[in-house]
Amino acid sequence: MPVLYRYLLFAASVIPVCAAADLTGNWVVAQDRHDGTFRRTYFNLKQEPTGIHGSIRTTQFFYKISESTGGPEGFTITGSMMDGDRERKVRYEGKLAGDELHIGTRNRPEAPLTEMVAHRAPDGEGAMPARVEPPQLHKVADNGLVRTPPMGWNSWNKFAGRVTAEDVRGMADAMASNGMKAAGYVYINIDDTWEGSRDAQGNIRSNQKFPDMKALADYVHGKGLKLGIYSSPGPYTCAGYEGSYNHEVQDAKTYAAWGIDYLKYDWCGARTLYKDEEMQAVYQKMGDALLASGRPIVYSLCQYGRADVWKWGPDVGGNAWRTTGDIRDTWASMSKIGFDQDKLAPYAKPGHFNDPDMLEIGNGGMSETEYRTHMSLWSILAAPLLAGNDLRQMPPGILEILTNPEVIAVNQDREGKQGSRVSKDGDHEIWSRQLTGGALAVGLFNRSDQEAKMQVSWKQLGVKGNPHLRDLWLHKDVSASGEGYEATVPAHGVMLLRLAAK
């Protein structure tokens, strides 16, 4: 054998060959939120001859990779998860570039790739925590709060993740001075994205946007108002911040120490660990924790109307429970949500209310006519009235809608009975709500795009004789003759009446 050939064989046996590029590993994209926290997306990948396997965790979602193509030089992965009876999917494209994983997604197939850079993370980082079995069911005692629907403000509709402590102080200032407090609005509620990390003892801390939550609560209380906060029974919130999973008692005590008066508790990350049929037990844990915290805290369940929450909401200590997905500031969204609430009327009572989501009044996506319909319908539904606009700057017409005392009186009627549909004729609907003392609130709703004449008969309403009538938007008594009342109602508008015996 030639000497050179023997040498090459020897060299091959002792000099390691460079390994082929491999996607296998735990990769993390850390996006700075500029509030002292990072939004982390984890790609736990295993490259095998049969494809790329593993999982993806982004915000509150945890996906198993169900499809893949390609390899290190260019690949796609599709993650799937079940969300109740709905399958969610997410698709990423990427390639390996040295020690970096360049990976991204597209909003639409034809859209440009939104690329991120991932780096290797320690094995196990970002994994979902072990499942804690839900407790046995029992009935949580009524906390005695909000015998009429809660009224206040919530940050999400206008500010989403941009809300700061300064915004909250500004809303408290505005609510205390512009007539809203006098009209009954009292809660200033911070939605998602206030959360920081936990300290060494596991106590939740607020992030840089909210440097001192106790001081903020004191400020709001100093205005004669109350402060609300947000969390999730899952490890992560909707926006991927720290949830209350396995820290329910600890978090409730922290909220009480800060001076919190209201908790919105959003299912979000819990769906990665629990099924809908376990929802009641999971919400019960926080209901117990709030009751034991030593402070009266309104408990608002936010789980989008899943698992027939109206049937068990009071049993977990809930004061209100969402009956629908998120509202948007459009006529289509508001009207669909509001007019779909009819069958839930039997489940509302003092201290326990159906919640078709927060008000969009004043956010600009609807006309004042449509916002009056929004306010009227939510009042007939005995729904929480949580404004979602910027209270520091709103036109007089919007303030008038939000503070109309006669419409608010319908919403705040102490019997707490939710109204229901009396009749439906195409896009024309009549709704009514029983009020204290035998009075009746009646709404003539024109959902069509054209002005319309509408009428309601006393027989339809179960009213005997000719009642006293008051128009709650015009603030004046009106008269009717014969067997009912007729009015011209604008497109997407409402005629809201109060009927009482003469």
**Active site residue ranges:** 266, 326
Q: Distance from CA of residue 325 to its chain's centroid?
A: 8
Q: Is residue 18 packed enough to be buried (19+ CB in 10 Å), middle (13-18) or exposed (0-12)?
A: exposed
The tokens describing 325, both together, are 């997905």
Q: Which amino acid makes up residue 213? A: M
What gap in Å lies between CA 213 and CA 220, rounded to an integer?
Answer: 11
The tokens describing 27, both together, are 């990769």
The tokens describing 391, both together, are 């209270």
3 state DSSP class of 94 = strand
- Which of 146, 149, 183 is closest to 391 using CA atoms? 183
Strand partners, 355: 322
What gap in Å lies between CA 491 and CA 496, rounded to an integer?
Answer: 14
DSSP-H helix ranges across 238-395: 248-258, 279-291, 331-339, 368-380
Q: 106 CB contacts (<8 Å, ≥6 apart)?
A: 91, 93, 112, 113, 114
Q: 157 CB contacts (<8 Å, ≥6 apart)?
A: 327, 329, 358, 359, 360, 363, 388, 389
The tokens describing 46, both together, are 């295993």
Q: Which amino acid makes up residue 132? A: V
Count CB atoms within 10 A of the CB of residue 145: 15
What gap in Å lies between CA 65 and CA 67, rounded to an integer?
Answer: 6
Decide: 264 and 233 in contact? Cβ < 8 Å. no
| Beta strand pairing call for 151-154 and 187-189 | parallel
